Structure 1
Amino acid sequence: MAGFFMLPDLYFTGAGDSWHDARTMPRQGIAHALVDARNRTLSLLAAFGMHERNWRLMPSHEFSPPHWTLGNLAWYGEKWCLRDPSEIRGPAGSLWEPAAPTLLDGADAWFDADRIPPDTRWEVTLPELAVIKAYAANTLERILAQLTNLHDDSDEALEPFRMTLFREVLEAEGLIAILQALGRPLPGGMARAPWRCEPGTLSFTGGRMTLGRDAGQGLSFDNERPAQRTYVPPFEIDAAPVSHRQFLAFVEDGGYDNPAWWSAAGQQWMMFQERSVARYWSRQREGGRTVRWHMQRFGSDIVLPLDEPVCHVSLFEAEAWCRWAGRRLPTEDEWEMAATRNGTFQWGSVREWTGSVFEPYDGFLPGRDDTWSLPYFGVYQAVRGAAWMTPPAFRSACFRGAAEPGADLGWIGFRSCAV
């Protein structure tokens, strides 16, 4: 890890037993978690190698380049925690303009996600990597110092720091996905543990439930608010995500070749991708006529682990499997009810597609950072759950993710419901 420094905890010592939920962590817990998250980010960046050319190999609409990501994380934390942004209301909504200048001249132009859309992040000319690393270290040290001097422990005062923390934890998933796509190994100590899908179904009688999370309960994201009562009809849902074994049956039955299972958009996506099997899968002959399915995992060729959940599949592939199996994807409401009302509902190995378009809840108001939700409403599909690399304190059954229907680089799988 030459050239990458790991950060000590300079401001707080010890850990509290109540820090199991990152949304309600006190400032001491936030400080610890920020340091842990940055160390993880630096460890992941080191896995790309020290030469910047290694960081530019795979332009992608799904994820940002690693060096830009580090700069954006620093810029994001600096904007919300250090630059005292004030709200400016206008006819098109609210803007939050920082009162203080950035610590790195040009950072607003380089790392503001609103100014640099995903398509251009892989092409923009940025400062040297050493400059970005120094900027990231400087901003984090000042954020930690700001926490020590914070005299208000209210949710409102801690929200910018918690938002910054969640942003860094979530961006780590993108870095891990890029390592997977490039065939690079995970850093030592970060190897994923096998996750076995235990087959079965769960039946729910339906009924009233409360979706989302209101302000005043620690950090809540604007797309989770306001919490609201809804009615969910009776349904049956898989106890676990669909496994490689189950998805393989679809593949070997010619599922990718039969247009009956695919939507028009799915067929177009498959033709554009030239896809005939799930990403990272391959079929290999092993002596004589024996053929076994393999997959690539962080640069290693392994025999397909049949009982692990399938992931790196698009919404189109998930929908096609469901049509083939005579099933359907769960709605967001069904998924959240199952996750909160049955302890045998297995989730947390992969994020999961739902059958719901990502839409605002009734009464939605944008949060101070409106980039979490507004750009994706009505365009992206709702994704629920958590993935194997999501730290336990950051897992929540009410968390609402979103992804483009064709996204298949991320750690997204799915489960099904009875029709």
Structure 2
Amino acid sequence: MSILESKYKAVRTMTRSLAANLSAEDQMVQSCPEASPVKWHQAHTTWFFETFILRPFLPGYRPFRDEFHRLFNSYYISLGEKISAKKLRAAFSRPTLNEILAFRAHVDQEMERLFSCSIDQEVARRILLGLNHEQQHQELGLTDIKHAFFSNPIGPSYGSAPMPKERTHPAYQLRWFDFEGGLTGIGYPLNAGDPLDFCFDNETPRHKVYLEPFQIASCMVTCRDYLEFMSDDGYIRPELWLSDGWDSVQQAGWEAPLYWERDSTDATGWRVFTLKGWHGLAGLLDTALCHVSFFEADAFARWRGCRLPTEAEWESAAIKERRHGNLLDTGRLHPTRANGAGLEQLFGDCWEWTASPHTGYPGYKPLPGALGEYNGKFMSSQMIVRGGSCVTPADHIRATYRNFIHPAMRWQFTGIRLAI
């Protein structure tokens, strides 16, 4: 079995494992416009392999069902009409979950037939893109089911294991790390001669940027830090907020991060919803803050007399650090606390908001054809987040990875690291 085939089977098995304890009813729910049903995630990732790999490259391939080509298209407009808007993905009770699982089995069987053939570099590149795409949807599936369970009045728990107890050592004190700046390279140094080397197109081309000297915080902002911001009337002080951020606060009525709810039984007056159910904030005060928008992150940074790092600053700080942390493989499914081991939490825990918009690097070229819609069409009105989260697969993240989110969105595991 080739390395590529082994990776294919591992990723597809992980998706099945993550959905194993969800009922068919669970997988039907779409609780906010940003989310998608878990059933849809399983079908769409399978559609990707059928559409971009099996149909064009496997002789004699017969699609599982022709209507799936439209039903599970997400935003690839050049491939033809989509059946419905994203916000209506939960409107379809059919095909059933069993049919979706049969679709996955069909595509897996045909991919096995493809792996028995000679695979050229273009096919290998598309398979790697499909696998990384599926890993993105593994994370999105967990993010979306968290919101679905939070929206359920009985507050179901995704994870059966209890939340690990936080270590009892004193709260870690934030420190600052100095960087000299200067001319530095950012972006992924793609090795075109290695068919298994992968990055997304928006990570390229690697290029030079000039950085002024800067300092970056040793760890992420904690729930304790953010509670102080809230106690100092952070949400009702317009001088702290960008104009669009202030409008979002007023229109949505924000007074705390997403998943925080008032609770008089907790010493802090708040409880927090997690993938493992409700927990009092008092026991999570020193964990990394999550589920805040870019606007909230920016307002907090202003309140502290700091700012958010640019993505170039973040990457230059992270590029030599070990790519490990509280990622999906730990099974924690919630941010943890810093432990004082230098510059930490760069990978895992929470995606970190940066001050940089999602635009193309100098010389950027999208992939040819419909695959060029993967990232390039979203280079407008979105902000870059870096570093992955507690639900990001460990072998999916890297220092050059550029994720992007609308600045008002809070349902993703997003947090804050300060810079000055």
TM-score range normalised by the length of the shorter chain: 0.7 to 0.9
Residues of 2 paired with 1:307 and 1:144: CA distance? Answer: 47
What is the rounded CA distance, in whole Å, between the counterparts of 1:151 and 1:49 in structure 2?
37
- Write the distance in 2 (CA, Å) between the matches of 1:117 and 1:150: 38
Moved more, 319-328 or 215-224: 215-224
CA distance in 1, matches of 2:4, 2:166: 29
Contact 1:382–1:401 (8 Å) recurs in 2: yes
Partner residue of 2:72 out of 111, 114, 120? 111
Deviations 1:92-131 (A, max 9, x none): xxxxxx9966332201110111225423333356422211
> Which residues in structure 2 correspond to 1:327-366 (within 5 Å)?
327-341=306-320, 344-346=342-344, 347-348=346-347, 349-366=349-366
TM-score for the superposition, normalised by structure 2:
0.82
| Corresponding residue number in structure 2 for 1:16 | none
Match of 1:251 among 222, 230, 255: 230
Conservation of the 8 A alpha-carbon contact between 1:214 and 1:220: no
Cα distance change, pair 76–360 in 1 and its aligned pair in 2 (3 A):
same
Distance 1:187 1:295 in 2: 15
Matching residue within 232, 236, 254 for 2:211:
232
Change (3 A) 1:409 1:160: same
Q: Which amino acid aligns with 1:238?
A: A
Matched, 1:323 2:283: no
> Normalized per residue, which structure has more strand?
1
Q: Residues 192 and 388 of structure 1 are in contact (CA less than 8 Å); yes or no, is this contact kept in structure 2?
A: no
Aligned to 1:386, the other structure's residue is in SS state coil
Matches of 1:84 and 1:198 in 2, distance apart? 55
CA contact (8 A) 1:339 1:397 kept: yes
Moved more, 384-393 or 113-122: 113-122
Q: Which amino acid is 2:363 matched to?
A: G
Structure 1 residues 107 and 99, CA gap change in structure 2 (3 angstroms): farther
Q: Deviations over 1:53-97 (max 9, x none)?
A: x434444232222222111111001122211279xxxxxxxxxxx
Q: Which residue of 1 aligns with 2:418?
A: 416
Query: How is 1:237-386 mapped onto 2 (pairs within 5 angstroms)?
Result: 237-286=216-265, 291-298=268-275, 300-304=277-281, 305-341=284-320, 344-346=342-344, 347-348=346-347, 349-368=349-368, 369-386=371-388
Instruction: Name the SS of the counterpart of 1:256 in structure 2.
Output: helix
2:186 to 200, 211, 226: 211
Q: Secondary structure of 1:353's match?
A: strand
Q: Quote the Cα distance in structure 2 between the aligned partners of 1:197 and 1:135.
A: 49
Q: Matched residues in 2 for 1:192 and 1:146: separation? A: 43
CA contact (8 A) 1:294 1:302 kept: yes
1:24-63 matched pairs, under 5 angstroms: 28-51=2-25, 54-63=26-35
Aligned length: 375
Match of 2:40?
68
2:23 & 2:271 partners in 1: Cα distance?
27
Return the letter of the residue paired with 1:273.
A
The change in CA–CA distance for 1:300 and 1:128 in structure 2 (over 3 A counts) is closer
1:162 to 2:134 alignment: no
Sort the Cα spacing of 1:387 and 1:45 in 2 relative to 1 into closer, same or farther, 3 A.
Answer: same
Q: Which runs of 5+ in 2 are unaligned?
A: 76-81, 151-155, 323-341
Inter-CA distance 294–105: structure 2 relative to 1 (3 Å threshold): same
TM-score (norm 1): 0.82
Q: CA RMSD in A?
A: 2.7
Deviations along 1:217-273, one digit per CA (max 9) or x if unpaired, are: 611211111111111111111111111111111011111121121122112212222
3-state DSSP of counterpart to 1:285: coil
Structure 1's unaligned 5+ residue stretches are 1-11, 13-27, 87-97
Q: Would you say the 8 A contact 2:352–2:415 is kept in 1? A: yes
User: What amino acid sits opposite 1:104 in the alignment?
Assistant: R
2:103 is the counterpart of 1:144 = no
> Which stretch of the first structure deviates more once superposed, 139-148 or 397-406?
139-148
Taking the aligned partners of 2:164 and 2:207, their CA distance within structure 1 comes to 36
Q: Give the C-alpha shift of residue 294 in structure 1.
A: 2.0
Kindly state the Cα deviation for residue 293 of structure 1 after the two structures are TM-superposed.
3.0
Q: Identity of aligned pairs, percent?
A: 25
CA change 1:34–1:273 in 2 (3 A) is farther
Kindly provide the CA deviation profile for residues 290-340 of structure 1, in whole angstroms up to 9, marking residues without a partner as x.
554321112522122111111111111101101111111110100000001
